[in-house]
Amino acid sequence: MNTQAFESYESQVRSYCRNFPAVFTTAKGPFLYDEDGKEYIDFFCGAGGLNYGHNPDAIKEKVIEYLQSDGVMHSLDMYTAPKREFIEYYEEKILKPRGLPYKLQFAGPTGTNAVEAALKLARKVKKRTNVFAMMGAFHGMTLGSVALTTDASSRAGAGVPLTNVTHIPAPYMFPELDTIKYMETLLTDDHSGVDKPAAIILETVQADGGINPFDVEWLRRVRQLCDEHDILMIVDDIQAGCGRTGWFFSFERAGIVPDIVTQSKSIGGYGMPLALVLLKPELDIWGPGEHNGTFRGFQLSIVAAKAGLELMLEERVEEKVRSQEKILARYMDEIKALCPDKIKTRGIGFMWGVDFWRFDKDGAMSKKVLDICFRNGLIVERVGRGNTVVKVFPELLIDEETLCKGLDILKESIQEAISQ
């Protein structure tokens, strides 16, 4: 394996390659292949950027067709045919059937761009600087979004104070604490010392925080709290969205309508860079160009995004995920039974975590599991406090045989790690 170019010339900031020591060359569906021809089942899926797998034919054909037609590739935010077709499709097929009133803002190519835009807009609308975010959250790595993020190593890279955010204990952290009442107290007690926020931002399922789904009733109470106190509710659906939980929007299961929603990752359909901010029309008080970016609305991404939505609807992905969730849940129960006093599992849809916190708090056991999985042909990631949680993120179009094969590798790898 020749990695000299990477090790000699690429920055030390590289991370995933340290866990997956192979040079990858091709990929198809749920599989990755390295230079030696070894096949890996991909339960990482680009950290949620590849919900529909690697190189799905239905999207690839549209991308190639557009390239061969000499279609416009770069246009900033000028009017283009692909953008018009995407907006019309998104409104007619995604938003209107769900009764959602949103306008679309093309914020730039990555999730953190969408979060930054959402923060700027919320503060502009409400004329307040503070924002409430959850402990355990991950919202991005640029200064505004990393101020929301609570992972210590991510925050350490900022190099400046990270301010204008109040972090609220996530509901799973202290079961005895009513976190909604806690926020209510911060808002109403004139001795709380906390400024009223412009917005509350949250992931309905904390992904990098360790795969923690938030309770439906808790989400509804947050919506009510925001309504009662004139606060915007922002849902970061960058990783949990696009069908990952069994609903296109992860908040649908709670029957709520956030004021602002951020999307990226799999909204690009093909692993293409695209980010959206969905906002209620009355919040659209931007001046022209007040938030911009050279690559907002990259045309090839928009072509792939529309094809991805078409594929998602044609394949009835939401129903498929809710149905096959039972397979994942069954395997998670079997994995937990391997060492019930020390292993915890949790998740929803096609996003699950196996928590080894009770083995150690520095991630040694989870790293051992990850390494054995990789050796056995399965790619998984680690997340959560101390990276103690193995994250299980299969593609949403995976066939049942491959899904079970990957879960068997995971289970056997955990058993081997425990026996060692």
Boundaries of domain holding 330: 4-55+317-419
Check whether residue 299 and residue 370 sit in a common domain: no
Check whether residue 32 and residue 78 sit in a common domain: no
Check whether residue 208 and residue 143 sit in a common domain: yes
Domain boundary among 270, 292, 314: 314
Per-residue pLDDT at 49 exceeds 90 = yes
pLDDT confidence of residue 279: 98
Per-residue pLDDT at 371 exceeds 90 = yes
* Weakest-pLDDT range from 52-56, 296-300, 341-345, 377-381: 296-300
Q: Report pLDDT digits (tens) over 85-142.
A: 999 999 999 999 999 999 999 998 999 999 999 999 999 999 999 999 999 999 999 9
Check whether residue 156 and residue 42 sit in a common domain: no
pLDDT confidence of residue 417: 98
pLDDT confidence of residue 259: 98
Q: How large is the greatest C-alpha to C-alpha distance in the chain, in angstroms?
A: 65
Q: Report pLDDT digits (tens) over 132-160.
A: 999 999 999 999 999 999 999 999 999 99
pLDDT confidence of residue 376: 98
Measured between alpha carbons, how far is 366 from 364 in angstroms, rounded to an integer?
6
Check whether residue 163 and residue 106 sit in a common domain: yes
pLDDT confidence of residue 66: 98
Per-residue pLDDT at 216 exceeds 90 = yes
Check whether residue 133 and residue 201 sit in a common domain: yes
pLDDT confidence of residue 81: 97
Check whether residue 126 and residue 249 sit in a common domain: yes
| Count of structural domains within the chain | 2
**CATH number, position 178:** 3.40.640.10
pLDDT confidence of residue 42: 98
CB 360 within 8 A of CB 418: no
CB 271 within 8 A of CB 56: no
Check whether residue 237 and residue 330 sit in a common domain: no
- Dihedral (Cα; 149, 153, 157, 158), 10-degree rounding: 30
Q: Report pLDDT digits (tens) over 339-366.
A: 999 999 999 999 999 999 999 999 999 9
What number is the average pLDDT over the span 19-36? 97
What number is the average pLDDT over the span 324-349? 98
Check whether residue 247 and residue 354 sit in a common domain: no
Domain boundary among 273, 294, 314: 314
What number is the average pLDDT over the span 23-42? 97
CB 246 within 8 A of CB 223: no
Domain boundary among 255, 288, 314: 314
Among 137, 143, 184, CA closest to 383: 137
What number is the average pLDDT over the span 328-340? 98
Check whether residue 143 and residue 180 sit in a common domain: yes
- Specify the pTM: 0.97
Check whether residue 381 and residue 285 sit in a common domain: no
pLDDT confidence of residue 297: 83
CB 367 within 8 A of CB 382: yes
pLDDT, the chain, mean: 97
Check whether residue 196 and residue 299 sit in a common domain: yes
Per-residue pLDDT at 181 exceeds 90 = yes
**CATH number, position 39:** 3.90.1150.10
Quote the percentage of the chain above a pLDDT of 90.
99
